[in-house]
Structure 1
Amino acid sequence: MMKKESSGERIRARRKALQLTQQTLAKGIGVSHVAVSQWEKEETVPRGENLLRLAEWLQCTAAWIIDGDGEVFTAAPRRAPVTAVPLISLAQASEWLSEARLLLQQQATHFLYREATLSDAALAVTVEDQSMLPDYRPGDALIFDPQVAPQPGDAVLALVDGVAMVRFYRLQTQQHDEKTFALRPANDDFPHLHTATSRLEIIGTLMELRRYRSR
């Protein structure tokens, strides 16, 4: 008796037939590429919205993925690609510009999903203090992209003497490849910062604010 193909084997074979990489498929669904790898190895099983998105991208029914029943379609997927942005702490964000970033991405357990193109280095953090009131409140989730250059007035995630914090960007001067800039809080109870007095490094430019109602 011929061995029945497993769900992981169906996912892998269908993905390759459509010439999709694990990374491309993961972005389309809104999960990490590790999740796709785990599905194909049958270490985990896609469920709920992830299963429906997977079926749409593989152009088949959810039933076909799970047990081999149902149909395989030829229509192209209609959903816009979704980027899964790892939501990490500010303490973790302080390592985002180092080699530790890849490990932080792989170990991330919380994500924000955005139906727009972001770089692979995009990240999200939660505001933890009152330095950016009233613009950004404690508990707000902010998505940043390191590949987007900040413009004066943009909110940025920055390293200040090795500590990650959210501030507004203000370019002072630029000579050759060196930029002199300042970072200011929205709340004047917190200090203004300048490259002349602090070691400042931009991690990423704000792309989106997520604010959730408290009960």
Structure 2
Amino acid sequence: MKSETMGYRIHKRRKELKLSQVSLSKAVGVSNVAISQWERDETSPRGDALLNLAEALQCSAEYLVNGGDVDHNIEFRKERTQKGMYPVISWVSAGQWSEAIEAYPIMAVDRWYGTTEECHASSFWLDVKGDSMTSPVGLSIPEGMAILVDPEAAPDNGKLVVAKLVNDNEATFKKLVIDSGRRFLKPLNPQYPMIEINGNCQIIGVVVDAKITNLP
């Protein structure tokens, strides 16, 4: 029996609906070459392409990504507010975002989360680690939550960002503070110090969504 990969499920649903790769590609708004690559697990659909594919195949994006019983996963996009599905990657991969054309191998991604927020196709989720963004009052994003990072969003003053300091391998999650031309990474936890980042830091992306995934 063939392994139940994402490509296998795409191929299986297309055959069940008696669709050709060409007709499916037109429904999704991509080339038939893209459909062929998806079915061979060479690449994977992301963002709007994933939602369009799920709608064309009359199943949910969750079924295509994670498998399960297709009959229990039929949810059309027009009936939901979800905007897209994005991969969960490691903090090391996030830190390498600008150092490679593809910071993470798409086939190595085993978790995808949806969002109701508008964001770019290059966005990704990270699992929050540690307590530096846990606040006793106000906004708090503790360990056990996941954050959605948009690398193409503008890192304005006061935004929550994922950044990489030049001497660190992993990215870090903090609030960006700009004061009199100086820039700082500020933890939400007052027990941690602010870090000045003029010239020694790269902003990987802006946090546009957060969700509880595994709180203790």
Is the partner of 2:210 in helix, strand or coil?
strand
Q: Determine helix, strand or coil for the equivalent of 1:10.
A: coil
Quote the residue 1:156 is aligned against: 161
The count of corresponding residues between Structure 1 and Structure 2 is 172
1:74-111: CA deviations, max 9, x gaps? xx973567422111121221112221535434532211
Contact 1:22 1:37 in 2 (8 A): no
What RMSD, in angstroms, separates the aligned Cα atoms of the two structures? 3.7
In the alignment, what sits opposite 1:47? none
The amino acid across from 2:141 in the alignment is: Y
The amino acid of 2:23's aligned partner reads: R
Instruction: Indicate the residue corresponding to 1:170 in structure 2.
Output: 177
The one of 187, 190, 195 equivalent to 1:188 is: 190
Q: For the structure 1 residues 209 and 199, does the alpha-carbon distance in structure 2 shift closer, same or farther, using more than 3 Å as the test?
A: same
Cα deviation for residue 124 of structure 1 reads 0.9
Give the Cα–Cα distance (whole angstroms) in 2 for the partners of residues 84 and 13 of structure 1. 24
Letter in 2 for 1:153: G
Give the C-alpha shift of residue 158 in structure 1. 0.7
Q: Distance in 2 between matches of 1:55 and 1:61?
A: 5
CA shift for structure 1 position 166:
0.5
Residue 20 of structure 1: aligned partner:
29
Which residue matches 2:63? Answer: none
Q: Which runs of 5+ in 2 are unaligned?
A: 1-13, 43-50, 61-75
**Which residues in structure 2 correspond to 1:66-85 (within 5 Å)?**
78=78, 82-85=83-86
Of 7, 12, 15 in structure 1, the residue corresponding to residue 15 of structure 2 is 7
Call closer, same or farther: CA 1:11–1:212 in 2, change over 3 Å.
same
Q: Quick check: 2:145–2:215 contact (8 Å CA) kept in 1?
A: no
Aligned to 2:45: none
Separation (CA, whole Å) in 2 of partners of 1:42 and 1:106: 7
Using the alignment, how far apart are the partners of 1:140 and 1:77 within structure 2? 25
Residue 85 of structure 1: SS of its match in structure 2?
Answer: strand
Which residue of structure 2 lines up, in the alignment, with residue 207 of structure 1? 208
2:121 alignment partner, SS class: coil
- Hey, what does 2:112 align to over in structure 1? 111
Partner of 1:26: none
Aligned partners of 1:42 and 1:187: how far apart in 2? Answer: 42
- Residue 145 of structure 1 and its aligned partner are, at CA, apart by 0.4
* Higher Rg: 1
Check whether the contact 1:87–1:112 (CA below 8 A) recurs between aligned residues: yes
Task: Establish whether residue 86 from structure 1 lines up as the match of residue 91 from structure 2.
Answer: no
1:138 aligns with 2:146: no
Match of 2:10 in 1: none
2:28 and 2:214 map into 1 onto residues whose CA distance is 42
What's the TM-score once normalised by structure 1's chain length?
A: 0.64
Q: Equivalents in 2 of 1:121, 1:53: separation in Å?
A: 17
Structure 1 unpaired stretches of 5+: 1-5, 24-32, 44-51, 63-75, 175-179
